[in-house]
Amino acid sequence: MDPKLALRGIKAWSTMFFVSHWPRQREKGGALIELLQRKRAMQREPVESGIATTAKSSQGLYESHFDLFQDPNEALQELVVYIRSAVAAAVAIANDHAFSAANLEIDFPDSWYHITNGGGFHDAHLHHGCSWCGIFYLQVGQSDGPGKRSEGAPNGGSRFYSPLDRGGSYRDAGNRYLVPALDLPIEDGLLLIFPSYLLHSGLPYQGGIDRMVIAFNAQCFLKEGAP
C-alpha cells in the first residue's frame, strides 16, 4: 500500500493454467504413438468427429471421434488415470481448497486426438459442456514455443487468447499487462490443463515427424456426502 495514497490493489478474475509432466512418458509414450498411428490408418475421414470442420484445416489434420478414453489400451488407460488425478488436484487448487481432490469425481464427456503435419491447424475456438479442458502433448515433433523463433508464430504451438477483451480493443501503457495472446512452451509428455472459457487455437505445424496431442473436456462433481 502506498502510504500517501492509501491505495491498495484487489486482483480478481485471474486465469489459471496447470502443467505437469507425465512420469511414464519415456516408458509408455511409444505405445501411445503406435496406438494413434493405427487409429489414424483406420479413419475414413480426416476429421472423424465431424465437429467444427470449418475451423480446421482441410488438409494436414487428423482428428478422432470424441470417445478416445473409452479405448481399453493399457498405456492409454494409465494416462487417463494420471490425467484424472491431475485434473482433480488442479480443480481443488483453483477453488482455494474449498474441498479436497479426493472428494471430486472427474468425468470426461469428450476425448480425442489430433495428428497434424503439412500445415495442419485448428483455428480459434472454445469448448462447451465442461468446466476444464486439457491437452497432452504426446509428440510435439518440431513444434516450438516462445523465444525459439526471432519472429512469427511458433510452429505448431498452442495459442491462448485473453478473456478480458470484451470491453474493447484499445491499447496503451495503462493496460499493457493485459497480454492479448499467450504462446505456451510445449514438450513431449507435458499435460496442460486450462479453464474451458479460454479461446485457443492449434497453430499450423510443419515438421519432419507428426505432431500428436491427446485432448479432453472434463466435468467435475463433488462426490455424494463430500463436505
CATH number at residue 107: 2.60.120.620
- Nearest to 114, CA basis, from 74, 72, 66: 66
pTM across the whole model: 0.92
Residue 104: inside a domain:
yes
Number of domains in the chain: 1
147 has a pLDDT exceeding 50: no
SS (H, E, C) 91-146: HHHHCCCCCCHHHEEEEEEEEEEEEECCCEEEEEECCCCCCEEEEEEEECCCCCCC
143 has a pLDDT exceeding 80: yes
CB 36 within 8 A of CB 75: no
Residue 53: inside a domain:
yes
Q: Which tens digits make up the pLDDT trace of 50-93?
A: 999 999 999 999 999 999 999 999 999 999 999 999 999 999 99
Residue 196: inside a domain:
yes
Residue 171: inside a domain:
no
Q: Which tens digits make up the pLDDT trace of 81-125?
A: 999 999 999 999 999 999 999 999 999 999 999 999 999 999 999
Coil/strand/helix, residue 175? helix
